[in-house]
Amino acid sequence: MAMWITGAGVITAVGHNISEFSDSLRKGRSGIQRLPAADAKSTEIHVGAAIRNFSWHSFIEQHENELPVIGSRASKVLRNTPDSVRWSVCAAIQAYKQARLHLLPISSRRLGLIIAGSNLQQSYIFENVVRFLREPEYIAPRYAMSFSDSYQVGVISEILSIHGPGFSVGGMAASGNVALYQALGWLRLGIVDACLVCGAAADFSHLELKAFAILGAAFTGEPSAEPHKACMPFDRQRKGCVWGQGSACLVLEAPESAERRGTGNIGELPGASCLLDGNHLPNPSLEGEVCAMRSGIEDAGITAEMIDYLNTHGTGSPLGDQIECEAIRKVFGARARHLCVNATKPLTGHCFSSAGIVEAVATLIQLNERFVHPNSNLESPIDDEIGFAGKEAKRFDGEFALSNSFGFGGVNSCVVLRRSTSPQQQAGDLS
């Protein structure tokens, strides 16, 4: 059974709201830039897509007239919280507002919340550990509350007055899709009428970034004069994934609830999958990825022939991209040539725990606004049997899309998305 998507919000390196994000997608604008010299020296990672020039104070002020109670709570609670929490709250408020939950509310006990991601505040923890080692008598007063992932659940639930079920889920880079999969299950079982699914930014410290570099899972080359060209999924010259920051939120809602409230949808989530490889290592599994894609399509009640657009996991890692190409050909056969296959990470960087939801938002924007964003770094594709998106944005009129996310530890997850079925959204944009 398909569930409606009634709200969306996003904060990334290429946009602090849906409108800005959509504009960046259409123009192929990348948020990957040279990192400050101090960060690069300590991590060996020289480029990344960091969130810049975002003020949560200004964001809350902009929404205080329409959302006075929520704005007042947010101003109070966010004063002493890590950046990752602030970004999650601001993305969630965007989605909450677009779903018109402030104007057409549902029972707070029938509204759920799932935070996608684990080990989210590593930079905040690292900073406190460094200070503690230097000054053992010092511990931040709120540290005991705020270092755990459940803190994000508590903060958002307080600000938005959510009293239904809620928790955080982890699946490494697949966390976003895993959270959507869980929320879909809640709605199908009738546990909630609607659920906010928030992909939280993994705010890594120097320790995590260096660990990814040692593992060979991150681009560590010297930045050229054009750092935005560092991320090259499916190109023969690819050299690894590029780190990014981002938070995004989707409101999933049962169609009868949305209709009862008198609101339409901005898209649908007809199916999803989450399957394990039985493997704790980071290496990808061809069989696992094939099974996840087929399972997601089957759960949606459609066939592979009905998929028009494929948002790949597409990190730019040498082995990962090769395996994903093989999996695509196994699932779609000769039709792989006629699919529009794309990768969003050259624009946003790899947002890790929030990547699945950031890319679901990007996919919905393209389905609704009838375009495909460019994959401008793809010069020499590794597979000639797959219809990769080109270097320029193009007109596109697809109905169904598949979005892949594969995480370390053998977590394979896919979601099927459908463009809006509401008359008021048919020719409009997501914002």
Give domain status of residue 289, yes or no: yes
Strand 267-276 with 411-419, pairing: antiparallel
Number of domains in the chain: 1
User: What was the pLDDT predicted at 403?
Assistant: 98
* Domain CATH code at residue 208: 3.40.47.10
User: What was the pLDDT predicted at 46?
Assistant: 84
User: What was the pLDDT predicted at 41?
Assistant: 45
The sign of the dihedral angle between the CA atoms of 67, 72, 78, 79 is positive
User: What was the pLDDT predicted at 365?
Assistant: 98
* Burial class of 86 by CB neighbour count within 10 A (0 to 12, 13 to 18, 19+): buried
Give domain status of residue 343, yes or no: yes
Give domain status of residue 339, yes or no: yes
Across 35-43, average pLDDT = 61
pLDDT of residue 134 exceeding 80: yes
How confident is the model over 164-221, as pLDDT tens digits?
A: 999 999 999 999 999 999 999 999 999 999 999 999 999 888 888 888 888 877 888 7
Q: What is the pTM of this model?
A: 0.95
Rounded Cα distance between 308 and 371, Å, is 12
pLDDT of residue 317 exceeding 80: yes
pLDDT of residue 66 exceeding 90: yes
Give domain status of residue 426, yes or no: no
Give domain status of residue 216, yes or no: yes
Give domain status of residue 208, yes or no: yes
Owning domain of residue 183:
3-420
Which pLDDT band, with edges at 50, 70 and 90, does 337 fall under?
A: very high
Give domain status of residue 428, yes or no: no
The sign of the dihedral angle between the CA atoms of 185, 402, 7, 347 is positive
User: What was the pLDDT predicted at 243?
Assistant: 92
pLDDT of residue 90 exceeding 70: yes
Give domain status of residue 431, yes or no: no
User: What was the pLDDT predicted at 428?
Assistant: 47
Q: Identify the CA nearest to 296 among candidates 175, 184, 182, 414.
A: 414
User: What was the pLDDT predicted at 410?
Assistant: 95
User: What was the pLDDT predicted at 423?
Assistant: 75
Q: First CA to last CA across the chain, in angstroms? A: 26
Measured CA distances, 426 to 223, 310, 365, 418, 419 (Å): 42, 21, 12, 12, 8
